[in-house]
Amino acid sequence: MNQIKQWITDTSQTQTVLAWDIHNIETTDQSNIVVTWTFHATTDRSTDLFDGISMISFNQNKMNEVIEYACKYETYHPYQQ
């Protein structure tokens, strides 16, 4: 937990979140949800823009586990119409 707190402290001093848009929230059953989102932030050295998926499990109305995946924002869809 101390590592998470330190990461939040350090990141909040160097990163500015420009947008964190939630696109969809799906309930898969009584204890799991899947969230799709786009994240956009800047630091003094870089700009981050990527899509993500969070899979969140609950146990007794508390978050039990969060698994996240990210992919580059501009993806190639060769068969999309």
Domain layout of the chain by residue ranges: 16-72
Order of strands across the sheet with 47-59?
16-29, 32-42, 47-59, 62-72
Say whether pLDDT at 58 is over 90: yes
Shortest CA distance to 33 belongs to which of 65, 53, 51, 55?
Answer: 55
Contact partners, residue 67, CB within 8 Å, separation at least 6: 54, 55, 56
Question: Is 3.10.450.50 the CATH classification of the domain at 16-72?
Answer: yes
Query: Mean pLDDT, the chain, as a whole number?
Result: 91
> Among 35, 44, 39, 38, which Cα is nearest to 67's?
35
Whether the pLDDT of residue 1 is over 80: the answer is: no
Residues 35 and 54 sit within 8 Å (Cβ to Cβ) = yes
What tens digit of pLDDT does each residue of 4-19 get? 889 889 888 899 999 9
Predicted pLDDT at 18 = 95
Q: Tell me, what's the pLDDT at 12? A: 86
Confidence of residue 70 (pLDDT cuts 50, 70, 90): very high
Look up the pTM and report it.
0.76
